[in-house]
C-alpha cells in the first residue's frame, strides 16, 4: 500500500485530488486526458465545486492518478481507508474457481513452493486487486486470472 497516496484524516476531495495530482507531477489537463474527462471537471473538483463523483469519473481519476477507487470513495464519504486483504495465488499452479493453497497465503510467501513462480495478488491484465478466487475472471476487465499461456 502506497502510504503517500493514502487520504489524510479529514482531507476533502478537492485537497486530496490536488495533492495526488501535484505529487505525480501532472497538470489538470494531463489528468483530465488520462482520466478521459473534461479538463474543466478537474478544476471544479479541485475548487470544491464538485464533491460527488459519478462512476466514470471515479474510475478515470483512479486510473489517471494510479490510486485505488476505494481511496476516492472513502474521501467522498469522509471515512478513513480500510485495509483490504487480497488473495495470493500462483498463476501457473492454481486451478481457476478453486481455493488458493494455504501456503501461498502466508505473509512472507512471495513465490510458489511448487513451481517457483512469483505469486500474484492483482489481475495481470488490469491490475485490480484480487479479493476472492471464487471466480475465474476479473470483475473489472473480464480476463481470466490464469493467463492463456498457462491454460492447457
Return the CATH number at 69.
Answer: 1.10.260.40
Range with the lowest mean pLDDT among 10-19, 44-53, 56-65, 92-101?
92-101
Last residue of a domain, one of 55, 77, 99: 77
CB neighbour list of residue 82: distance below 8 Å, 6 or more residues apart = 70, 74
Q: How deeply is 96 buried, as exposed, middle or buried, from its count of CB atoms within 10 A (0-12, 13-18, 19+)? A: middle
Residue 119 shares a structural domain with residue 135: yes
What are 120's strand-pairing partners?
Answer: 89
pLDDT in tens, 4-49: 788 998 999 999 999 999 999 999 999 999 999 999 999 999 999 9
Q: Give residue 152's pLDDT band: very low, low, confident or very high (50, 70, 90).
A: very low
- At 129 the three-state DSSP class reads strand
What are 131's strand-pairing partners?
Answer: none
Is this prediction's pTM over 0.75? no
Last residue of a domain, one of 77, 98, 130: 77
Residue 56 shares a structural domain with residue 118: no
Residue 109 shares a structural domain with residue 72: no
Helix (H), strand (E) at residue 41: helix 39-46
Q: Which domain holds residue 11?
A: 3-77
| Residue 59: closest CA among 86, 35, 93 | 35
Amino acid at each position: 500500500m502506497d502510504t503517500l497516496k493514502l487520504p489524510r484524516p479529514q482531507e476533502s476531495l478537492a485537497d486530496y485530488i490536488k495533492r495526488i495530482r501535484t505529487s505525480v507531477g501532472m497538470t489538470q489537463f494531463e489528468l483530465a486526458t488520462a482520466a478521459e474527462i473534461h479538463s474543466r471537471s478537474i478544476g471544479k473538483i479541485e475548487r470544491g465545486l464538485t464533491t460527488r463523483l459519478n462512476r466514470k469519473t471515479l474510475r478515470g481519476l483512479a486510473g489517471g492518478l494510479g490510486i485505488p477507487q476505494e481511496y476516492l470513495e472513502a474521501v467522498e464519504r469522509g471515512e478513513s481507508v480500510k485495509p483490504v486483504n487480497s488473495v495470493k495465488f500462483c498463476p501457473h499452479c492454481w486451478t481457476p474457481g478453486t481455493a488458493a493453497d494455504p501456503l501461498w497465503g502466508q505473509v512472507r510467501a512471495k513465490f510458489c513452493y511448487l513451481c517457483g513462480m512469483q505469486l500474484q495478488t492483482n489481475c495481470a491484465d488490469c491490475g485490480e486487486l484480487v479479493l476472492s478466487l471464487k471466480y475465474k475472471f476479473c470483475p473489472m476487465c473480464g480476463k481470466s486470472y490464469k493467463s492463456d499461456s498457462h491454460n492447457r
